Chain A
Amino acid sequence: MQLIELKNVYKRYNNGVTALCDVDLSISKGEFVFVIGASGSGKSTLIKLLYRQERPTKGEVYVGGINVAKLRNGKVYKLRRKLGIVFQDYKLLPKKTVYENVAFALEVYGLPKDEIRKKVLKAVEQVGLKDKLRSYPDELSGGEQQRVSIARAIVNDPKVLICDEPTGNLDPKTSMEVMKVIDEINKDLGTTIIMATHDKDIVNKMKKRVIVIENGLVAKDIMKGKYKNEGI
């Protein structure tokens, strides 16, 4: 079985909107995948299914061997511990320092302090923010904040890093810096990356697998793809 598999997935929201329609996908270990599509195409829904923010109406979603569709609310943490998630709005805690924000993700495991320290330092070094450990989020630039949230996402060595428009709030130059960090994680740690984005430049430069979602359907799934204008 592949690391991530979607079989005949349908998603219909309570208000009657059908966001996804018969989606079949499989992503294997170590891949770097872009998910692109216009607003309202179902791209975000697809991402949310992977970390069980949403549940499919029909079909099966497997992530790292867990059947996400059947996961009860109380057991969601078991899935989330295998994932790292990066959001457009960073989701950092404003009253915690960079170190505390990253360590936050490790507290749930009850590790000894020095082990937490080791892992946090490693993750922060990976994203190149070693000299900002004691800063608070509002003292950092947008790109730096996003790198903190990436460090938090990879600190528990996840198999998959899910990025939901991580560069949506950043300027092109900073976006490329963040992309470099994500690409390095993929290469250095072998983490599978799934990234939803709007950013044409990024997709074109990176030349990775591209999944195009259109009206809730997988319109295209191409290796070394480019972001074309058709329908987007």
Chain B
Amino acid sequence: MKAFRILASNISESFKGVFRNFSLSLASISCITITLVLVGFSIILSYNVNNFTSTIEKDLTIVVFLDRGVTQEQIDEVKTKIDSLSNVKSIKFNSKNQVKEEMQEEFSKLDGILEQYNEETNPLQDTYLVKVEDINTIGDTADSISKFENVDIVKYGEGSVEELVKIFDIVKKITYIVVIALVLVTAFLISNTIKITIQSRKREIEIRRLVGASNAFIKQPFFFEGIILGFIGAFLPVIICCVGYNYLYQKLGGQLFTAIIPLVKPSSLIYVVVLVLIALGVLVGAFGSYRAVRKHLKI
């Protein structure tokens, strides 16, 4: 009961503190707001880049063309060999007949031409579709497959797609670094801003010490104040990110420039942004004021 009363009075004290020192609170809040907006943008960006690269990576396949006239035994032999490679995730056989049918379905012009070929005369080749674990070493995997017996040629998305994936991989890493750096900078900035706020309340802390308040008791209201400031500071960035991204998504029709680059649906992204921003604001605010008040507890 006693502890609860102390807690209650400290929480109400922290609310009063926010409004009694409103100009300084505003400084902390706007500091949190600005950095969290940037953090929000980075999160949205990295989410989209991530989404894009994983979509591409899922589509990237090595197509293994087998020699014409291979026997079923030889086909199975190639499969065992490919399976034994470490980077291989899945493997799927596409016989020349299946390929023929797929082509007939896809291109109506070829339909008639291909119809003339039967099992014996089909000029197409049996293929294996191989997916890999790590996209970055897809070239090496393709190379080793091409050296197997009865393998004619090996194709994968050499060139543009691979380049694009590499670039986006770098972008992804950069956004991670930016998010982490921003979080650290925010924590530091807020801690400093709150330090200035607390500097002006040095007297209050001193008097608390002198009338017999324990250190934990003195820290408590500042701790809650930090949480309140962080929460208020996260409010605007949350709105900006949610509304802004939704608007952007609608405006661009769910894709960036071309259909190759789809945007993440706002509904699946926004709750993450909201949670992360609020959690970040609260944590950073609490940590910042906790750190700042410690200095003054020596009187």
Using CB atoms and an 8 Å cutoff, list the residues of chain A in contact with chain B: 51, 53, 73-74, 76-81, 83, 85, 91, 93, 95, 104-105, 107-112, 152, 156
Contacts and interface: CB of A to CB of B under 8 A. Distances in A.
A156 B213 CA distance: 12
Interface in B1-25: 2-6, 9, 13, 20
Contacts of A152: 211
A80 B210 contact: yes
A152 B5 CA distance: 20
Given A73-B297, A108-B217, A110-B6, A91 B212 contact: no
B209 A91 contact: no
B209 A80 contact: yes
Given A77-B212, A108-B212, A91 B207 contact: yes
A99 B278 CA distance: 37
B298 interface: yes
Nearest to B201: A93
B50 interface: no
Contacts of A95: 20
A6 to B, nearest CB: 21
B5 A93 contact: no
Nearest to B7: A110
Contact of A110 (B2, B203, B212, B297): B2
A51 B6 CA distance: 24
B207 A104 contact: yes
B215 interface: yes
Contact of A111 (B5, B210, B212): B5
Contacts, number: 59
Interface string B185-217: 000000000000000000110111111111101
Contacts of A78: 212
B209 A93 contact: no
A108 B214 contact: yes
Nearest to B217: A108
A105 B5 contact: no
Contacts of B203: 91, 93
B113 interface: no
A93 B204 contact: yes
Contact of A105 (B20, B206, B211): B211
A211 B62 CA distance: 97
A74 B212 CA distance: 11
Interface of B: 2-6, 9, 13, 20, 203-204, 206-215, 217, 297-299
A83 B211 CA distance: 8
Contacts of A156: 211-212
Contacts of B204: 93
B211 A108 contact: yes
Contacts of B207: 91, 93, 104
B214 A110 contact: no
A32 B5 CA distance: 36
Given A77-B215, A110-B4, A110-B6, 18 more contacts: A53-B299, A74-B215, A77-B212, A77-B213, A77-B214, A81-B212, A83-B212, A91-B206, A104-B207, A104-B208, A105-B212, A107-B9, A108-B211, A110-B3, A110-B9, A111-B5, A152-B211, A156-B211
Contacts of B217: 77, 108
Contacts of B214: 74, 77, 108
**6 tightest Cβ-Cβ pairs between the two chains A and B:** A80-B212, A81-B212, A105-B211, A110-B6, A110-B2, A108-B213
18 contacts: A73-B215, A73-B297, A77-B209, A77-B212, A77-B214, A79-B212, A80-B210, A80-B211, A80-B212, A93-B203, A104-B207, A107-B13, A108-B212, A109-B2, A110-B9, A111-B5, A112-B5, A156-B211
A217 B203 CA distance: 32
B216 to A, nearest CB: 9
A107 B9 CA distance: 8
Contacts of B299: 53
Contacts of A107: 6, 9, 13, 213
A230 to B, nearest CB: 34
A85 B211 CA distance: 8
Nearest to B299: A53
Nearest to A78: B212
A3 B164 CA distance: 81
